[in-house]
């Protein structure tokens, strides 16, 4: 579903990505891990075609991300989503539906579907200014799902959520996993990644150091955090 082939991304003299190659398969939950500045958000920005690589190829279902048609297969939840406080959750979702060229009955049906999916039924008419951070994040996720994308990109999705908010968010993502959605996320909360993700890549300084199934990365008695520390320290 997502392919990076020998991707180099530079900012001036800095190589933010240095020959990055990886594939995310259909239905996979793929975690990009790495210390601050490793290049995780850069990978996401390239997938969304917000920025261009210096060289290499980025393909979604075999099509270069520079093709506008690619965007309709992707849902994106940015880090720290900001929603105008005067809008209700439903109004915010309606704006998103319009951006996806939906209106009238089809928009209403899509909104009902995603509100239900993220567990916000009954709260969607309240102003987002009254929402907790976890509820904001759930409405943000609902917006990213409005056009039923096959691929979901999440930048630090549970950052700043309390343990209950994190758990609720995980349950929603598990539901999406059962529906066959492909997810690429980056997170520093390794215990969550360990629970949710099938595959992980650990990056540092613009390079992917390892990529494997989470179960193969973890050796006897280790946690994913142990693996992370071991690999980053060795680099």
77 interacts with, out of ligand ATP, Mg ion, none, CB within 5 to 8 A per kind: none
Using CA atoms, how far residue 63 sits from 59, 60, 145, in Å, is 5, 5, 21
Can you tell me the distance from the alpha carbon of 118 to that of 137, in angstroms, rounded to the nearest whole number?
Answer: 10
- Residue closer to ligand ATP by CB (options 117, 209) is 209
Is 10 a residue that touches ligand ATP (CB under 6 A)? no
Among 10, 18, 27, 41, binds ligand ATP (CB under 6 A): 41
Is 37 a residue that touches ligand ATP (CB under 6 A)? yes
* Total of chain residues touching ligand ATP, rule CB under 6 A: 11
Is 64 a residue that touches ligand ATP (CB under 6 A)? no
Contact positions with Mg ion (CB under 5 A) in 15-54: 40-41
Buried b (16+ CB within 10 A) or exposed e, 158-169: beebeeebbebb
| End-to-end alpha carbon distance in the chain | 29
Contacts of 101 (CB under 8 A, 6+ apart): none
Is 42 a residue that touches ligand ATP (CB under 6 A)? yes
Interaction site with ligand ATP (CB under 6 A): 11, 14, 16, 34, 36-42
């Amino acid at each position: 579903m997502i392919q990076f082939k020998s991707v180099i991304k530079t900012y001036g003299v800095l190589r933010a990505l240095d020959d990055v190659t990886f594939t995310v398969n259909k239905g996979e939950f793929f975690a990009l891990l790495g210390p601050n500045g490793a290049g995780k958000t850069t990978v996401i920005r390239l997938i969304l075609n917000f920025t261009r690589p210096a060289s290499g190829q980025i393909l979604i279902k075999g099509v270069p991300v520079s093709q506008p048609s690619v965007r309709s297969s992707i849902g994106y939840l940015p880090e720290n989503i900001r929603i105008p406080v005067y809008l209700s959750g439903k109004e915010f979702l309606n704006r998103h539906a319009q951006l996806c060229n939906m209106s009238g009955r089809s928009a209403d049906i899509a909104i009902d579907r995603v509100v239900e999916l993220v567990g916000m039924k009954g709260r969607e008419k309240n102003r987002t200014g009254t929402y907790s951070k976890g509820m904001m994040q759930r409405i943000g996720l609902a917006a990213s799902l409005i056009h039923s994308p096959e691929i979901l990109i999440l930048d630090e999705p549970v950052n700043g959520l309390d343990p209950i908010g994190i758990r609720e968010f995980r349950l929603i993502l598990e539901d999406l996993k059962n529906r066959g959605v492909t997810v690429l996320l980056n997170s520093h909360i390794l215990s969550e990644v360990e629970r949710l993700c099938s595959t992980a890549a650990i990056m540092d300084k613009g390079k992917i150091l390892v990529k494997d199934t989470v179960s193969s990365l973890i050796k006897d008695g280790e946690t994913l955090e142990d693996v992370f520390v071991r690999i980053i320290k060795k680099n």
